[in-house]
Amino acid sequence: MPDSLTRSNNKVRFYLTRMESRGFASEQVLHGTGLDEVKISGENFSPTADQYRHIIHNIISLTGEAHIGLALGEEFKVSDLGMLGYAALSAPNLAHSRELFAKYDALVEHILLPSTEVTNDRWCTELKEIFPLGDLIPFAVEEFISRTCGLAASLTNKPFPVLEIRLTYSRGEEEEVLGKRYDCPVYYDQPRTVIQWDVNSQDHRISLANEEVYKLCEQQCKMLIDQMADADLLSSKIRNALVKTPGEFPTLEEMSRRLNMGSRTLRRRLVQENLTYQQILDETRKDLAIQYLQYTSLTPKEIGYLLGYNSVSNFRRAFKGWTGKKLTDFRE
């Protein structure tokens, strides 16, 4: 992950509140992150990937609960989503609520990036790592599933069944938790992490549906998105776009089209930030490469492919140029 995660409702604050209810002080949860209450309360606070990993590790270590992510996800409330939560609460049904979350995704802080596909007979969400989580990925996946099921059930006052779970990580010695909890098949060592929901649940009406409130809240969500877009540096937008499409490193012209601006305008605005597009590409690749080396067991060839290199030798040379070190220096 380059500089930071997407800004939104304060997920770290949520973790601190839930851990406090378990008797753990914020200093314990934030240990090793360099963060404190003052920094977290800042208007533009956004944790880095390393800070997130530290916090998750601390949560698991302090509680001693391997599946604490399930409990935390269950404790997440609609009100924790701010204005987006109120919009979802007033939507006509779950289908509209799902579309809201897709449309105003930038208002939600992610550890895993969800991508949803809906057909006539399937409703699936694929989860991708925004930054390498290593052995912390079960926490993030379990929190997401629990949170989604809890929010959907609270909106409709009806059960929200999971039909199937496919996970990229291996099954542990006692990994029957998800299958028992959601009464569905769970497959491990899969190429992608995919959750299949009951597509018929989309028709479930929101218990507090209100058309007038819905329109008003959606308008507020749009205003928040527009404010965020105006406040963000162009370089931050480019970094976020790169991180959200792992394995894709578009040319300057392709990126300018994604951001709905001309290539000359993109160059000029980056010059105002004392940056070039190539510098952003190199910085993003370097940061991701270091994290893949430190937090995954991917081979140099696999990492190079994810970073857009067609040969491992080219990746090794680029890495040496970025850091002055060899790949093995980060895996000793």
| pLDDT-based confidence at residue 2 (cuts at 50, 70, 90) | very low
**So what's the pLDDT on residue 288?**
87
Among 317, 251, 332, smallest CA distance to 286 is for 317
| pLDDT-based confidence at residue 185 (cuts at 50, 70, 90) | very high
In angstroms, the Cα distances linking 131 to 2, 10, 228, 291, 297 are 9, 18, 22, 8, 14
Read off the tokens for 329: 């220096």
Q: Which amino acid is at 311?
A: S
What sign results for the dihedral spanned by CA atoms 85, 33, 19, 62?
A: positive
* Angle (nearest 5°) at CA 176 between 170 and 181: 125
Q: What is the pLDDT of residues 153-183, one digit of tens each?
A: 999 999 999 999 999 999 876 668 999 999 9
Provide the residue ranges of all domains of the chain, joining segments of one domain with +: 11-212, 233-330
| pLDDT-based confidence at residue 6 (cuts at 50, 70, 90) | very low
Helix 263-272 / helix 234-243 crossing angle, nearest 10 deg: 120
pTM over 0.85: no
Containing 87, the helix (H) or strand (E) segment is helix 83-90
| pLDDT-based confidence at residue 229 (cuts at 50, 70, 90) | low
Taking residues 188-202, report their average pLDDT.
96
CA pair distance 193, 186, nearest whole angstrom: 11
Specify the 3-state DSSP secondary structure of 166. strand
Q: Does the domain made of 11-212 have the CATH classification 3.90.1520?
A: yes
> At a CB cut-off of 8 Å and minimum separation 6, what does 247 contact?
305, 306, 307, 308
| pLDDT-based confidence at residue 8 (cuts at 50, 70, 90) | very low
Q: Between the ranges 184-193, 237-246, 260-269, 277-286, where is the mean pLDDT highest? A: 184-193
**Identical fold, 11-212 and 233-330:** no
Domain 233-330: top CATH class: mainly alpha
Do the beta carbons of residue 1 and residue 288 sit within 8 Å?
yes
